[in-house]
Amino acid sequence: MPLLRMAMYAKGIQIYCAPTADGRDGWIASMQHIALEGRCFVLSCNQFARRSDYPDVYETTFGDEPETIISRGGSCIINPLGQMLASPNFTSECILTADLDMGEIARGKFDFDVVGHYARPDIFRLHVNEEARPAVVGVTDPIRVDCKE
Lowest-confidence region among 37-46, 79-88, 93-102, 108-117: 108-117
Residue 49: burial class (beta carbons within 10 Å; 0-12, 13-18, 19+)? middle
Do the Cβ atoms of 123 and 109 come closer than 8 Å? no
CATH number of 2-111: 3.60.110.10
User: φ, ψ for residue 18 (rounded to 5)?
Assistant: -130, 85
Segments making up each domain of the chain, as ranges: 2-111
The pLDDT assigned to 63 comes to: 86
The pLDDT assigned to 110 comes to: 92
**Confidence class of residue 145 from pLDDT cuts 50, 70 and 90?**
low
Q: In this predicted model, what pLDDT tens digit does every residue of 16-51 receive, in sequence order?
A: 999 999 888 899 999 999 999 999 999 999 999 999
User: φ, ψ for residue 104 (rounded to 5)?
Assistant: -65, -30
Q: Classify the C-alpha dihedral 128-130-133-134 as positive or negative.
A: positive
The pLDDT assigned to 26 comes to: 93
The mean predicted confidence, pLDDT, of the chain is 90
